Structure 1
Amino acid sequence: MSNVKLNDKFMWGGAIAAYQAEGGWNVDDKGYSNWDHFSNSDNNPFNINNVSGNDATDFYHHYKEDIKLLAEGGHNSFRFSLSWTRIIPEGVGKRSAAGIAFYNDVINTCLKYGLEPNVTIHHYDIPQKFEDEFGGWKDKRLIDYYFDYAKVCLEEFGDRVKLWTTLNEPRFYSYCGYVMGNWPPHKHKDLQSYWETVYNQLIASAKVVKYFKENNYEGYIGIVHDHGTVEVSPETRDKEYVYNHAELFFNSLVLDMCAKGKIPTNLEKFLKESGYDTSFINYQDENLLKEGIVDFLGINSYQRFYVTDSTGETIVTHNNTGKKSNEKESIKLKDWFDITEPEHVSRNFWGREVYPEAIYKGIKDVSEKYPGFPIVITENGHAVYDTPDETGYVEDDDRIEVLQQFVDYVLKARDDGYDVQGYFVWSAFDVWSWVNGYVKRYGLIRVDENDNFKRIPKKSFYWFKDIIKTNQITL
């Protein structure tokens, strides 16, 4: 256990992201983001559900109702992200009084109802002008622009927000944008850009953490990583080679830089062996990384990565349609590893393995490799096709069954001595699920986008309320 207590009590809550929930994409002088651009583009090949996030689930106009509902459900914390272009419409320069007032009211409403605000500064949405001008996170100029934006967030909200994360899933953000290619800027199998954009985000994160600590902000600041434990299939010929390459790709690049304050020792070696340009790596950055080590690690946990020897060219598959498609969420990375499939795998409709024990293995793996850091499960959920009855109520027993197993493993991890200090369900209420639109749902509360975004708690909402009531944990 660490000496850091992020709260007096174990945090139970739900999570959302700005673009997926807020709507109000062009109201009150909000600027134009990469996701505004992507989901409204006429040539967007991935918007298969023919719906943008312009309205999302209208949190912008429903936040007071939403936060009150979460409080009634027993939540003592609420995780949400800030929209860069709502706070600084042009990405740099003048602040939006309306945008800042909105987030002030969200934060104050949380505090009114006894919910600790858990605030993420950047969750995938950046000003589109930076993509247009220099390619976004591919260019190191964005590090300083992001730093200036983060300073504004701390200045405006740091008197009340005591729990911050710099970035949500820098690895997955880059993976979807440059490898899988189904998110902006939708580049497919551009592995060079993948490595560069992850690296630049982590330097930016360290810069903000350093500033947070130097200026003695009250509270704690961390990062959110989409962790999955790497497991090597028994038939793998070169187990150590496959494990080390997969671990770098999926986990250690992020966690070494933010928790150890160093560039992974094998990063340059592995990349050079595979013909990548490594000029983006600057070992002088380790001076900043050492001063920008996080206070805690946020883990978004859904799955493991089951790998074996590479069998050929890079192949990336994904499934945006669901509906029991045979497409699986997977990657084969040339000369590095293949994602393979163990026997008797259960998958959800979108091709992702359903394996609740992954959350326990992930907590154990991170705790043992990066000791001394509190862990918060900042996201964990189960996507299904919700079928409401005539009143709009959803009996989501399949979601409850899976989430119960995840929660049981989190509590087991605490019982076994691992320093887990919070669990946030993805998602607090239904949100717009990126390229899956409103089809793929995670929420504890149903949002009916066809009936003025009416909120109807699902069966899982009441299940989670009972979980919280039964597991009041003092830290």
Structure 2
Amino acid sequence: MNKFLWGSATASYQCEGGWNEGNRGETQWDNFSHHSALNINHVNGDVASDFYHKYEEDIKLLADGGQNTFRFSIAWSRIIPDGVGEINPAGIEFYNKVIDTCLKYHLVPNVTLFHYDLPKPIYDIGGWENRKTITYFVRYAQICFKYFGDRVPLWSTINEPNYYSYCSYIVGNYPPNKKLDFNAFCKSGYHLLLASARVVREYKKLNLPGRIGIVIDTSNVQTKRSDDLSMKAARKADLFYNKWVTDTVCKGYFPQQLFTLTKDSGIDLSFVKKADKPIFMSGIVDFLGLNIYSRAFIKPYTEGKTEVFMNNKGKNSKVKEGIKIKDWFETDYDPDIPRTKWGSELYPKCMYDELMDIKKNYGNILIYITENGIGEYETADKTGYVVDDERIEIMKKYICYMLKAKKEGVNVQGYYAWSTMDLYSWVNGYEKRYGLIRVDFDHDLKRIPKKSYFWYKNLILQNTEEG
């Protein structure tokens, strides 16, 4: 793969639908969206974008849009319906069709093994808090490598272990909806990274002609001031948001300061086993997938209890995203930086800052921008066409900063817009639209490329030589 990869991305639960077809098993998200009172927007992924039935139409639209790669995730519960038992031939058949269709249209398949949708039977025994989940995940990964590894050159073990744990155990808006449970956050995060390391080891044993990495949600840490207190807070924030993942997967183990700080904060680290360290050391990734949306603008902790803020109601809420962790740091707010309707900063320069920071800390490691984009409320014209000029302007800035970092020596070799088409945006539902392609959820899930789809096609064409 010498050519720069230009594509877009999806995730299984967010786009597939077909939740009870093809012998697929139930996931934690099926259970949450069907039964939980915390599903505040009262939507689910039962049908989603119906990629399960429309995959060839969608993949052809990518190719017609000039894209040469497609990032998607495999649903564990399609491969092993209960997560631990028998292999499901219908699931194997479905993903074989998806992969073969990618190759038919000359798209490089970029596959993520776990993107939030844990099989419910594993969720019921504690999910990633339970060390047994690691063993189950390794077996699932081995099955995927066996059936798909000959045609998939890019694999990611876990999508956003940091953000997944953050929403599940700190914010509490993702199942199991535990709020400010830092013990569970640390335990699940440790198990996620140990599972990733074991899967990386398994993949490398097979000598397959591909690469394996991990996808992380990066939050480049910045402060208003550079005094000693601010720098100490920034280091703590960087450990919390980023380094517990990036140091571990790139250098082979967690930063020592992290153990000191978590112990001082009263975290029970009994889940850390001495025998695990060689596994981490031998599970270093081939590449980093970076999901880059915003920075973490912080200041030293001031006073008061630990608390967290998340906006899942969009324009119906005034909440700005942020967190305060006692004795660690707290979110700062810059009134001069615009925000999305969901309360997060719009700061495209974070793309450049994060890429340069990765190069500074980890050298020439291979990087793919595995997600970047913006969610919007959108209104189509009478033909179904969406003029999403704001998305175009914002993506243009992010991509310019990416190309600037590439020119300055960062080993970034691909960019994936989030998302391929409009899809289920977790707790936010379907009003929050990220797609380059509109999905008309009210009329047979018809696909209508947006203005951004054609702009992106032209941008790819212009940057083919530069890539």
Interval containing the TM-score (normalised by the shorter chain): over 0.9
Contact 2:171 2:308 in 1 (8 A): yes
- Structure 2, gaps ≥5 residues long: none
What is the CA distance between 1:61 and its match in structure 2?
Answer: 0.5
Correspondence 1:11 to 2:2: no
Task: Pick one of 29, 33, 38 that aligns with 1:39.
Answer: 33
What is the CA distance between 1:325 and its match in structure 2?
Answer: 2.9
What is the CA distance between 1:341 and its match in structure 2?
Answer: 1.1
What is the CA distance between 1:32 and its match in structure 2?
Answer: 0.7
Aligned match of 1:99: 91
Larger mean Cα displacement after TM superposition, 277-286 or 310-319:
277-286
Q: TM (normalized to structure 2)?
A: 0.98
User: One-letter code of the match for 1:182?
Assistant: N
Correspondence 1:88 to 2:80: yes
Contact 2:292 2:351 in 1 (8 A): yes
User: One-letter code of the match for 1:17?
Assistant: A
Contact 1:180 1:188 in 2 (8 A): yes
Aligned match of 2:256: 265
Aligned match of 1:381: 373
Task: Pick one of 224, 238, 256 that aligns with 2:229.
Answer: 238
Aligned match of 2:312: 320
Correspondence 1:22 to 2:13: no
User: One-letter code of the match for 2:95?
Assistant: Y
Instruction: State the percentage of identical aligned residues.
Output: 49
Task: Pick one of 440, 461, 470 that aligns with 2:453.
Answer: 461
User: One-letter code of the match for 2:136?
Assistant: Y
Distance in 2 separating the partners of 1:431 and 1:247: 31
**Cα 1:236/1:447, change in 2 over 3 Å:** farther
Contact 1:171 1:250 in 2 (8 A): yes
Distance in 2 separating the partners of 1:473 and 1:300: 24
Distance in 1 separating the partners of 2:397 and 2:174: 30
What is the CA distance between 1:283 and its match in structure 2?
Answer: 3.4
Q: Deviations over 1:149-198 (max 9, x none)?
A: 01011111001001100000001000000000001111111111111111
Aligned match of 1:4: none
Contact 1:120 1:165 in 2 (8 A): yes
Aligned match of 1:60: 52
What is the CA distance between 1:93 and its match in structure 2?
Answer: 1.9
Contact 1:329 1:351 in 2 (8 A): yes
For residues 263-342 of structure 1, what are the structure 2 equivalents within 5 Å?
Answer: 263-311=254-302, 312-323=304-315, 325-342=317-334
Task: Pick one of 132, 143, 149 that aligns with 2:140.
Answer: 149
Aligned match of 1:3: none
Aligned match of 1:247: 238
Aligned match of 2:206: 215
Aligned match of 1:200: 191
SS in 2 for 1:466: helix
Q: Deviations over 1:95-121 (max 9, x none)?
A: 111111110000000000000000000
Contact 2:168 2:176 in 1 (8 A): yes
Distance in 2 separating the partners of 1:381 and 1:423: 11
What is the CA distance between 1:139 and its match in structure 2?
Answer: 1.1
Distance in 2 separating the partners of 1:215 and 1:473: 34
Contact 1:235 1:308 in 2 (8 A): no
What is the CA distance between 1:411 and its match in structure 2?
Answer: 0.9
Correspondence 1:403 to 2:399: no
Distance in 1 separating the partners of 2:366 and 2:339: 30
What is the CA distance between 1:461 and its match in structure 2?
Answer: 0.2
- Structure 1, gaps ≥5 residues long: 1-6
Distance in 2 separating the partners of 1:102 and 1:129: 22
Aligned match of 1:171: 162
Q: Deviations over 1:375-415 (max 9, x none)?
A: 10000011111110011100000111101101111111111
What is the CA distance between 1:324 and its match in structure 2?
Answer: 6.2
Q: Deviations over 1:278-311 (max 9, x none)?
A: 1122233220111110000000000110111112
Matched residues, number: 466
Distance in 1 separating the partners of 2:401 and 2:465: 15
What is the CA distance between 1:320 and its match in structure 2?
Answer: 0.9
Distance in 2 separating the partners of 1:32 and 1:12: 33
Distance in 2 separating the partners of 1:443 and 1:283: 44
What is the CA distance between 1:239 and its match in structure 2?
Answer: 2.3
Correspondence 1:419 to 2:411: yes
Aligned match of 2:384: 392
Distance in 2 separating the partners of 1:392 and 1:331: 39
Task: Pick one of 364, 367, 373 that aligns with 1:372.
Answer: 364
Distance in 2 separating the partners of 1:272 and 1:233: 28
Contact 2:41 2:429 in 1 (8 A): yes
Contact 2:364 2:410 in 1 (8 A): no
Contact 1:9 1:473 in 2 (8 A): no
SS in 1 for 2:274: coil
Contact 1:306 1:340 in 2 (8 A): yes
Contact 1:263 1:286 in 2 (8 A): no
Runs of 4+ in 1 over 6 A off after TM superposition: none
Distance in 2 separating the partners of 1:455 and 1:303: 29
CA RMSD of aligned residues (A): 1.2
What is the CA distance between 1:241 and its match in structure 2?
Answer: 2.0
For residues 442-461 of structure 1, what are the structure 2 equivalents within 5 Å?
Answer: 442-461=434-453
Distance in 2 separating the partners of 1:372 and 1:287: 23
Task: Pick one of 99, 105, 111 that aligns with 1:113.
Answer: 105
What is the CA distance between 1:232 and its match in structure 2?
Answer: 2.1
SS in 1 for 2:218: coil
What is the CA distance between 1:75 and its match in structure 2?
Answer: 0.3
Contact 1:8 1:474 in 2 (8 A): no
Q: Deviations over 1:237-260 (max 9, x none)?
A: 612321221111001100111110
SS in 1 for 2:314: coil
User: One-letter code of the match for 1:308?
Assistant: K
What is the CA distance between 1:215 and its match in structure 2?
Answer: 1.7
